[in-house]
C-alpha cells in the first residue's frame, strides 16, 4: 500500500487556528528622528495611514502567510513597495504649482558692519567726494568688492495646473526559502551583504513593465532546469501534475547589494564609479538563468523595503521551521500506517497448507466460498480430514506498529506544540468555559516565540507601508471606514509638503 495520512497538514491547521485566536496585532509609530518636525508630524499621521491600509490590505491573511512560512520554511522575507497601476487603482487629478524663476533680490551691496547689515541695490550707494569710495547710505561706512552680491533668483509660484497621476498601493509580498537567497552565515539582515528574490514569471509580465527590453526578453530561452527553479514550479503545480506550463516561464531576479560588495571588483576604476554612484547600496533586476537580461538599477538599501522574519533563534540564516520536527514523524507514520493496512488484509486470513492427495490446490483457489454448497473430496485409506490440512499462525498487526500509531499524537504535542486543547474540541476534564479558556491560554504559551516574531515582523512591514505612503502619495487621500454604529464615514489623510519618516513597534 502507498496510502498516507497528511498529519503535517493537520498540525499546521491546529497552529494557524491557535494563532488566529489572538487577533491581528497593531503598531505604534514614533519619529525616526525625534528632533525633526517633519518626522514628528509623520508619526502623528502614521495611525491614520494604517487605518486606511486596513481598508485595502488583508492583514489577517498577511499574518497567516508569515506564520505559514514559519511552519514550513523557517524563514519569511517581506518585500514592501509602492506600485502604480492605473488599471487596478485608477487615476487622480491633482493640482501642481506652476513655478517660474524670478529675481527676488536685485544685485547690490551688503553692509557687514555690526548693527547695520543693510542691503543697498546697485546705483543707490553713497560715494565719498574726496576719495571716490563707495559707502553705505545707512551707516556711511565704506563698501568693498566683497560686499557686492549677485542677484538672487528663485522659483516663484505663478499659478496652478491640473495633472493626471496614476494611483498606486503599498504592496507586501512574502517569500520563503525557495525564493529567498541570503548568505547562510549571516544571523540577520543587518549582517547580510546581499539578498536575492528569485521567482518564475511569464515573459509577457516582464515585457509589460520593461517595454524597452522586449526584444531581449523574447529571445531568452524559457526552460530553466536549475534545481531551485524546478522546485518552485513543482511547489506551485497541482498534486501529481508535474510542472504545469514550465516552458512558458522565465526566472525573474531582484538583487540588493550593500556597498561592501563592490570591493569584490578587482578593477578599481569600475569599483570607484559604483561606490560613487550607489553609496548606500544598489538594487537591480534581471531575467533569465544562464544568460540573464539586465532590466534596471537604482540606489536602494535593503532595510528600505525588506523585512526578514524567523520563528526561532539560531546560528546562521536558515533556522529551523516550526514543523521541521514533524517530518520524521510523518515519514515514520507513512510506513506504520501502510504496515497496518497490509496486516489487515494479509494477516487477517493466515496462509493455509493442504494435502495434495486430498485437495487440489487450483480447485480450491478457483472456488468462491458460498453458503449451502458442497465440495466433494476423497480421503485416501487411513487418513482423516483434520490431518489433511492446517493453517499457519499469524498476527493481524504487530504490537510495535500499534504502539507507534498511538504515539503519533503525543509526540506531535511535545515536539510541535499542537496541544489537544488547541484542536477546538471540548476538554473532558474541564467543565467551565473559563477553565477551558485558561487551558487554551496555557497551551498557547508554546507559540509565544513564534507569535512574538510575527508581531515584530508585522510592525516592521507596517512601518515600511507608512513610509512608502508618505513618500509616494498625493497631498490628500480620502477613504471610508465603518464606525461603531455600522455606518460608513469618510476620512482624509493630509500630508505636509515636507514628509518625514517613522519607526514602528
pLDDT at 145: 84
pLDDT at 245: 53
pLDDT at 239: 64
Q: How far is CA 226 from CA 207, 218, 229, 492, in A?
A: 23, 20, 5, 50
* Contact call for residues 162 and 110 (beta carbons, < 8 A): no
Cα–Cα distance for residue pair 359/34, rounded to 1 Å: 98
pLDDT at 174: 97
Torsional sign, CA 96, 101, 104, 110 = positive
pLDDT at 425: 65
- Looking at the DSSP bridge assignments, the partners of residue 282 are 257, 299
- DSSP summary character for residue 191: G
Q: How far is CA 339 from CA 83, 396, 397, in A?
A: 54, 10, 8
Closest CA to 111 of 120, 100, 99: 120
| Beta strand ranges found along 137-268 (DSSP E) | 148-149, 152-166, 168-175, 180-181, 194-202, 249-257
Cα–Cα distance for residue pair 229/368, rounded to 1 Å: 55
Nine cell digits for residue 319: 533556522
Nine cell digits for residue 482: 465603518
pLDDT at 104: 83
* Overall residue count recorded for the chain in this entry: 505
> Across the beta sheet with 293-299, what order do the strands follow?
180-181, 194-202, 249-257, 282-287, 293-299
Buried b (16+ CB within 10 A) or exposed e, 449-482: ebbebbbebbbbbbbbbbbbbbeebeeebebeee
Distance from CA of residue 185 to its chain's centroid?
A: 21
Q: What is the pLDDT along the chain (505 residues), one digit of tens a residue?
A: 788 889 999 999 888 888 887 888 889 999 999 899 999 999 999 999 999 999 999 999 999 999 999 999 999 999 999 999 988 888 888 777 888 888 888 888 888 888 888 888 888 888 877 778 888 888 888 888 888 888 888 888 888 888 888 889 999 999 999 999 999 999 999 999 999 999 988 889 999 889 999 999 888 876 566 677 777 777 777 665 555 555 568 889 999 999 999 999 999 999 999 999 999 999 999 998 778 899 999 999 999 999 999 998 889 999 999 999 999 999 999 999 998 888 877 776 777 788 887 787 777 777 777 788 787 788 888 888 888 888 777 666 778 888 888 899 889 888 888 887 787 766 666 667 777 677 777 777 888 888 899 999 999 999 999 999 999 998 888 888 887 888 888 888 988 888 999 999 9
Amino acid at each position: 500500500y502507498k496510502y498516507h495520512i497528511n498529519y503535517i497538514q493537520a498540525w499546521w491547521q491546529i497552529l494557524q487556528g491557535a494563532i488566529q485566536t489572538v487577533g491581528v496585532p497593531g503598531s505604534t509609530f514614533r519619529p525616526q528622528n525625534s528632533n525633526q518636525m517633519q518626522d514628528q508630524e509623520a508619526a502623528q499621521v502614521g495611525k491614520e495611514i494604517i487605518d486606511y491600509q486596513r481598508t485595502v490590505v488583508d492583514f489577517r491573511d498577511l499574518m497567516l502567510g508569515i506564520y505559514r512560512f514559519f511552519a514550513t520554511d523557517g524563514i519569511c522575507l517581506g518585500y514592501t513597495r509602492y506600485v502604480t497601476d492605473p488599471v487596478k487603482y485608477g487615476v487622480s487629478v491633482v493640482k501642481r504649482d506652476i513655478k517660474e524663476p524670478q529675481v527676488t533680490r536685485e544685485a547690490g551691496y551688503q553692509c557687514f558692519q555690526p548693527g547695520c547689515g543693510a542691503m543697498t541695490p546697485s546705483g543707490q550707494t553713497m560715494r565719498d567726494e574726496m576719495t571716490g569710495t563707495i559707502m553705505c547710505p545707512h551707516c556711511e561706512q565704506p563698501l568693498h568688492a566683497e560686499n557686492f552680491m549677485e542677484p538672487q533668483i528663485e522659483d516663484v509660484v505663478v499659478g496652478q495646473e491640473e495633472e493626471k497621476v496614476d494611483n498606486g498601493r503599498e504592496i507586501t509580498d512574502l517569500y520563503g526559502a525557495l525564493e529567498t537567497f541570503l548568505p547562510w552565515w549571516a544571523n540577520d539582515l543587518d549582517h547580510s551583504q546581499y539578498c536575492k528574490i528569485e521567482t518564475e514569471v511569464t515573459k509577457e509580465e516582464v515585457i509589460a513593465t520593461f517595454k524597452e527590453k522586449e526584444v531581449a526578453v523574447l529571445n531568452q530561452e524559457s526552460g530553466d532546469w536549475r534545481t531551485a527553479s524546478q522546485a518552485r514550479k513543482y511547489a506551485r503545480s497541482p498534486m501529481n501534475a508535474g510542472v504545469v506550463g514550465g516552458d512558458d516561464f522565465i526566472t525573474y531576479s531582484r538583487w540588493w547589494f550593500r556597498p561592501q560588495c563592490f570591493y569584490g571588483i578587482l578593477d578599481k576604476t569600475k569599483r570607484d564609479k559604483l561606490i560613487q554612484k550607489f553609496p548606500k547600496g544598489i538594487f537591480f533586476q534581471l531575467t533569465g538563468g544562464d544568460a540573464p537580461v539586465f532590466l534596471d538599477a537604482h540606489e536602494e538599501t535593503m532595510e528600505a523595503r525588506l523585512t526578514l522574519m524567523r520563528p526561532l533563534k539560531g546560528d546562521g540564516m536558515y533556522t529551523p521551521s516550526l514543523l521541521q520536527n514533524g517530518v520524521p514523524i510523518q515519514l515514520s507514520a507513512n510506513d506504520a500506517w501502510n504496515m497496518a493496512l497490509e496486516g489487515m488484509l494479509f494477516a487477517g486470513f493466515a496462509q493455509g497448507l493442504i494435502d495434495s492427495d486430498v485437495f487440489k490446490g487450483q480447485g480450491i483457489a478457483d472456488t468462491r466460498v458460498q453458503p449451502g454448497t458442497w465440495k466433494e473430496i476423497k480421503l485416501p485409506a487411513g487418513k482423516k480430514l483434520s490431518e489433511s490440512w492446517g493453517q499457519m499462525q499469524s498476527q493481524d498487526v504487530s504490537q510495535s506498529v500499534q504502539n507507534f500509531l498511538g504515539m503519533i499524537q503525543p509526540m506531535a504535542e511535545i515536539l510541535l506544540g499542537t496541544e489537544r486543547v488547541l484542536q477546538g474540541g471540548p476538554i473532558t476534564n474541564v467543565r467551565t468555559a473559563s477553565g477551558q479558556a485558561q487551558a487554551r491560554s496555557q497551551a498557547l504559551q508554546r507559540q509565544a516565540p513564534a507569535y512574538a516574531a510575527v508581531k515584530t515582523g508585522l510592525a516592521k512591514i507596517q512601518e515600511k507601508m507608512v513610509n512608502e505612503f508618505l513618500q509616494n502619495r498625493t497631498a490628500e487621500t480620502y477613504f471610508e471606514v465603518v464606525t461603531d454604529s455600522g455606518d460608513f464615514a469618510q476620512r482624509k489623510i493630509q500630508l505636509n509638503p515636507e514628509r518625514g519618516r517613522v519607526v514602528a513597534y
